[in-house]
Amino acid sequence: MRVSQIYAPTLREVPAEAELVSHQYMLRAGLMRRAASGVYSYLPLGVRVLQKIMNIIREELNRAGGQEILLPIIQPAELWHESGRWNEYGEEMFRLTDRHQREFCLGPTHEEIVTALVRADVRSYKQLPLMLYQIQNKYRDEIRPRFGVIRSREFIMKDLYSFDRDEEGLDKSYQAMYDAYSRIFSRCGLDTRPVEADTGAIGGDNSHEFMVLGDAGEDLIVYCQDCDYAANVERAECAPFEAEEGSWQSLEEIPTPNVTTIEKLVELLEIDASRLIKTMIYLADDKPIAALVSGNNNINEIKLKKVLQCDTLVLADAGTIEAVTGAPVGFAGPVGLEIPIIADYSVSGLVNAVAGANKADTHIANVNINRDYIPTKIADIREAKAGDKCVRCGGTFTSARGTEVGQVFKLGTKYSKALKANFLDENGKEQPIVMGCYGIGVSRTMAAIIEQHHDEDGICWPISVAPFHVIIVPVSYKDEEQRAAAEKLYEELNAAGIEVILDDRNERPGVKFKDADLIGYPYRITIGPKQLQDGNAELFIRSSKTKVVVPLSEIVQHIKSLLNR
């Protein structure tokens, strides 16, 4: 390929729409352009990178026993009704109606359609296990698309579905995918960390997310300093607290005018936030409940929702809070409440704690569990944070931000039961297929790679995903000797099967260097008068910004050995 021919317009200035480095470089280097909010077109260089990533994925999944298929983007509503997700999925699903008023959606995910596919043809245990995957566009009408391709409304995803006869088979498939994912991301040059994860709208029992750690990440994870426990905070379990020692003292009202926040209360009473009971009023399926957590912790609504087994959970409005507690917002407490109370472990062990008094401008001290209030349930409902004790080993949690590039789920029989995907076992007995599903955000992976591999001049692609391996830059393409040498080398590298691009533009060298740095080709060969007269060229290594002089006759061999490393 020649730079004069390729459609890769680079931008000198940073487009105002991009905030994240990866987003800026993807636009500036001419990898993609925005078509609408959260919708992008990929240009030739971007496509080359995507294809590299997809091919790595294919190789590893095929090796693990996967077979590639291609499922439709447009999916009929009936299947989603069967699984119950037509209503469950909500606003995030793009829906459309055809001319006959039949309803469809643009697939946000493909469990329904693949399960329907398999149920039609899989009859016997002899056809299992089965692993099918596709690399396909997905559509989710995100409330707020952001960070370029990292949170977009149309994105490329690899999704694989495993079908097994039993849990044991599922465990094997799950492990095979877990291992394949580790290899895939490592081959892409990504440093990822698998963490335990919540299963969200997909459902299922067990799940890991593969996180790319970095400040730009949208997710918060905690991991233990002493053992290998790591989890998304959505999921991370918290260890129960030990009950405090001490004798119960009598309740005592404290006037606290306008003290409606934990911070103000800590300041006023000069006690630690952990001694306070934070009382949050929620509407669970429209019925009020109280959730208690200590003042230095936050409620994890996902956990709370699971404990309550409700479909919807929202913070109560001021009116409800007043009606339920008899006090304005900021003075709620468990004492005297007539609604269900869920207490976190962080409050269940407190002795002589401080809580709201359910009375304006008043708090109450020496609150004790089972004497002053009786919780409906004591459970783990708080959000894990750095400094907390690890549930597994008692070590200490550290937190980090991360971007999820892949997730593996054990679905079990959720979809096979709903969609009646059954098989006959050896005894001729009908059984639901045991499923797993495994996703990789392909377009997002490209952005994540840039996040981990860039500097102030541009992208530094890992060789495995670079759009081209080598760029040849003659200092002056017009100079006959340089051009001849560059063209000769170009042919030789091409013949050797090395992916090479020749900058044949009549530009000044600085322009060509800047573009090469921005796009991030791993190797640049500069052909200039200085070295050429000695039969040499200069090899520039993008990632380390180092230069070596190599005889023209040895360049092909030299590059080959670098690529094979």
Partner RNA sequence: CGGGGCGUGGCGCAGUUUGGCUAGCGCGCCUGCCUUGGGAGCAGGAGGCCGGAGGUUCAAAUCCUCUCGCCCCGACCA
Residues that bind RNA (CB under 7 A): 10-17, 19, 34, 36-38, 92, 109, 140, 142-147, 150-151, 155, 157, 198, 200-202, 218, 301, 404, 407, 439, 441, 444, 457, 475-476, 478-479, 506-511, 513-515, 517-518, 526-532, 538, 540, 547
Minimum CB separation from RNA for residue 241, in Å?
25
| 9-33: burial string, b at 16+ Cβ within 10 Å, e else | ebeeeeeeebebbbbbbbbbbbbbe
Nearer Cβ to RNA (140/278): 140
Query: Max CA-CA distance within the chain?
Result: 97
Question: d(Cα 538, Cα 199) in Å, to the nearest integer?
Answer: 52
Q: Which of 162, 205, 173, 114 is nearest to 435 (CA)?
A: 162
Minimum CB separation from RNA for residue 256, in Å?
26
The identity of residue 278, as a single letter, is K
Nearer Cβ to RNA (32/355): 32
Nearer Cβ to RNA (9/72): 9
Question: d(Cα 136, Cα 151) in Å, to the nearest integer?
Answer: 16
Residue 440 has phi, psi (to 5 degrees) of -135, 125
Question: d(Cα 507, Cα 356) in Å, to the nearest integer?
Answer: 72
How many CB atoms sit inside 10 A of residue 288's CB? Answer: 18
Nearer Cβ to RNA (198/344): 198
Minimum CB separation from RNA for residue 292, in Å?
18
Minimum CB separation from RNA for residue 19, in Å?
4
Please give the structure tokens belonging to residue 518.
């921005």
Strand partners of residue 398: 223
N- to C-terminal Cα separation, the chain: 24
CB 249 within 8 A of CB 366: yes
Please give the structure tokens belonging to residue 137.
């566009």
Nearer Cβ to RNA (34/453): 34
Task: Work out the angle at residue 285's Cα, subtended by the Cα atoms of residues 282 and 291, and round it to the nearest 5 degrees.
Answer: 25
Those residues whose C-beta lies under 8 Å from the C-beta of residue 199, and which sit 6 or more positions away, are: 205, 206, 207, 409
Please give the structure tokens belonging to residue 104.
């469809």
Minimum CB separation from RNA for residue 526, in Å?
4
Q: Which of 195, 216, 110, 112 is nearest to 158 (CA)?
A: 110
Nearer Cβ to RNA (203/432): 203
Query: What is residue 434's three-state secondary structure?
Result: strand
Q: Are strands 362-367 and 422-424 parallel, antiparallel or unpaired?
A: unpaired
Nearer Cβ to RNA (209/388): 209
Please give the structure tokens belonging to residue 185.
């991301």
Nearer Cβ to RNA (388/517): 517
Nearer Cβ to RNA (149/493): 149
Q: Is the peptide bond before 129 cis (omega within 30 degrees of 0)?
A: yes
Minimum CB separation from RNA for residue 34, in Å?
6
Question: d(Cα 111, Cα 197) in Å, to the nearest integer?
Answer: 19
Minimum CB separation from RNA for residue 422, in Å?
25
Please give the structure tokens belonging to residue 441.
């955000």
Question: d(Cα 431, Cα 445) in Å, to the nearest integer?
Answer: 37
Minimum CB separation from RNA for residue 107, in Å?
12
Minimum CB separation from RNA for residue 268, in Å?
26
Minimum CB separation from RNA for residue 353, in Å?
26
Those residues whose C-beta lies under 8 Å from the C-beta of residue 272, and which sit 6 or more positions away, are: 266, 296
Nearer Cβ to RNA (92/179): 92
Please give the structure tokens belonging to residue 298.
């936050």
How many CB atoms sit inside 10 A of residue 476's CB? Answer: 16
Nearer Cβ to RNA (425/457): 457
Minimum CB separation from RNA for residue 298, in Å?
10
Minimum CB separation from RNA for residue 460, in Å?
12
Nearer Cβ to RNA (330/528): 528
